[in-house]
Amino acid sequence: MSAEGQHTRINVKDTGAKVANAGKTFIDDFKKFLERGSLVDLAVGIVMGAAFTSVVNSLVNDLITPIIGLATGASFENNFLVIRCSDRSKYCTTGGSGSYTTVALANADGAVTWNYGRFIQTVIQFLIVGLVVFLLVKTYTRYILRPKAEPVATRKCEECLEAINIDAKKCKFCGSSQ
């Protein structure tokens, strides 16, 4: 027989057993992963992060940006520039907000806008979230991960019977040599 006519035999039983064992190993590994406590901690962290983000968004959108908006004379998220007007627009002028009072009106008219107010609002939200996460991590490392002080080995002073360091040459209370 020529090389072209030769066939390779595949043992289907062995291949099937290998695939089944690989599947069992994968499932066992996945079960072990799910049983770890850190996965639950991660899930709780994600849910809390999402809830915290909505609180920060409300803080920025409802409390901080209106105060900034008082200084600019408009809603902070509606600070924008028109970059290009639509061909069909009769009211649009480039280089400012034109006759549009909101970004939504400009976009509905087909204008291309540069929304710097929304960007600044997002940066403020990012800074607040970053600050709070920094404070949480700092507090966690200070109070939870604080290295525990090892107890100092002591002995009693022969003269005054006060507790002194085991390696002390002189008592800090009475001054006697040890």
Sole residue written with tokens 């998220």: 77
Beta-sheet strands, E only, within 4-120:
81-84, 112-114
Rounded CA-CA distance 78/114 in Å is 10
Nearest to 53 by CA among 151, 126, 145, 139: 126
CA distances to 1, 2, 11, 15, 119 from 7, in Å: 10, 10, 13, 17, 66
Residue 157 CA, chain-centre distance (Å), reads 54
Look at the pTM and tell me if it is higher than 0.75.
no
What are residue 82's DSSP bridge partners? 113
pLDDT at position 114 is 92
pLDDT in tens, the chain (178 residues): 445 555 556 555 555 555 556 667 888 888 777 777 677 778 888 898 888 888 888 888 888 878 877 887 766 778 888 888 888 877 777 666 667 888 888 888 888 889 998 898 888 888 888 888 888 888 888 887 776 767 778 899 988 889 998 888 999 889 888 8
Sole residue written with tokens 């600050």: 131
Name the token pair of 94.
């480039």
pLDDT at position 1 is 47
pLDDT tens for 42-82 read: 888 889 888 888 888 888 888 887 887 788 776 677 888 88
